[in-house]
A and B are shown apart, each in its own frame.
Chain A
Amino acid sequence: MNPIWPMYRALVGVGMLCGLLIAVVFEGTLPIIEKNKAEALEKAVFTVIPAAVRRETIELDGGEVYAGYDESGNLAGIAIEASAMGYADILTLLYGYDPHAETIIGIRVLTSKETPGLGDKIEKDETFLRNFDALDARVDESGSAMRNRIVTVKNGTKTEPWQIDAITGATITSNAVGEALGSSSERWIPKVKEWADEH
């Protein structure tokens, strides 16, 4: 018999079995993973809009944002997704915007491959998270652009309410948060504010 045949048999055989196994596990876990992701998003909406008890998905300008309502049915805030390139991969966040005070009132990381112990501090570092207690996000007089672009500044040099104080040792990830919020707020907040004023 051709001596090549056992090699084909081993590689193709093992390859097909492995492929089959991965396909089975993928199909089996996909619904659970999707459900986990939906739950994580659901939880994130209520984290970034602390006063909200009920949420609605709103279709706006070719995208989706999530409006949160408080107990008496008033609009408590709007949760918007944002993303930017981090240190390892794209970082996606959800942030809560309060249209009455025109501030960002909370952020939550949705997906992150940042270095554990360094980049993932953006989720845990209390000093850093205090940046988002009331981060200035006012729209300008024309109502179509931001008055000030949200930016990240070097740790300890925050002077303006729209600046984010970076974490020492996690500068790239901190900058990614600033970039994500800066670009997403310019794209979304004027439209969301207009929508909120109408409702």
Chain B
Amino acid sequence: MSTDEFIKGLWRENPVFVQVLGMCPVLAVTNSAINGLAMGLATTFVMLMSNMIVSTLRNFIPKQVRIATYILVIATFVTIVDYAIAAISIDLHKALGAFIALIVVNCLILGRAEAFASKHTIGDAILDALGMGAGFTIALLALGGVREILGSGSLFNVTLFPANFEPWIVMILPGGGFFTLGAWLLVINFFKARKAAQEAIE
């Protein structure tokens, strides 16, 4: 067990900015910061549970049926999250309603189950899920924040600009998701390339 399993998900192997996994929810739900945050937390929970189960059962599941079994496990926890959110707050459920079911098709969760949890001990699988979940949540917040500021002129529903600010509606539409993701990837790769160049000189 090592803390690197946790840290790698935050930056070096960030699921969104480096692995570019789970693009469907990344682009669809991040039109406001709060939606990004809620989606990130829900995904983290599902990933934590599925990583735990998959890691526990890794010697029990034959490889021919592993994908079907993983999807079964993931879908179960997504359904549980759906009921739990409806029971906790009907308003939160109303805000996220359409997106909770989308967690099932997030290839990040299936990817971590297949690439990591099925080959590692339960402790490592838990750290991996928490790290990847945190990295995913941060990335969703980064996208949702930028899109909400430009597209609605607010952040976490707090208005930032005076009334004469004309919001860029395109930023909260699907196209804005692609623009923002592209801009973030540009910024991150620019810094990575600069760091690599510096290291090469040294």
Contact = CB atoms under 8 A, between A and B. Distances in A.
A111 B60 CA distance: 42
Interface string A86-101: 0011000000000000
Interface string A11-43: 100110010011001100100110011011000
A29 B90 contact: no
A117 B86 contact: no
A29 B84 contact: yes
Interface stretch (B13-21, B72-80, B122-130): B72-80
B72 A14 contact: yes
Contacts of A25: 79-80, 83-84
A148 interface: no
A26 B76 CA distance: 11
B14 to A, nearest CB: 24
Given A29-B84, A36-B87, A117-B151, A111 B94 contact: yes
B152 interface: yes
A114 B98 CA distance: 8
B87 A32 contact: yes
A120 B76 CA distance: 28
Interface residues of A, number: 33
Contacts of A114: 98
B31 interface: yes
Interface string A31-62: 01100110110000000000000000000000
B64 A118 contact: no
Contact of A89 (B35, B60, B98): B98
B185 interface: no
Given A10-B60, A14-B73, A116 B95 contact: yes
A15 B65 CA distance: 12
Nearest to A123: B94
Contact of A120 (B29, B68, B95, B99): B95
A29 to B, nearest CB: 4
16 contacts: A7-B62, A7-B65, A11-B69, A14-B73, A21-B76, A22-B80, A25-B79, A29-B86, A29-B87, A33-B86, A116-B99, A117-B151, A117-B172, A118-B31, A118-B173, A169-B173
Interface of A: 6-7, 9-11, 14-15, 18, 21-22, 25-26, 29, 32-33, 36-37, 39-40, 88-89, 109, 111-118, 120, 168-169
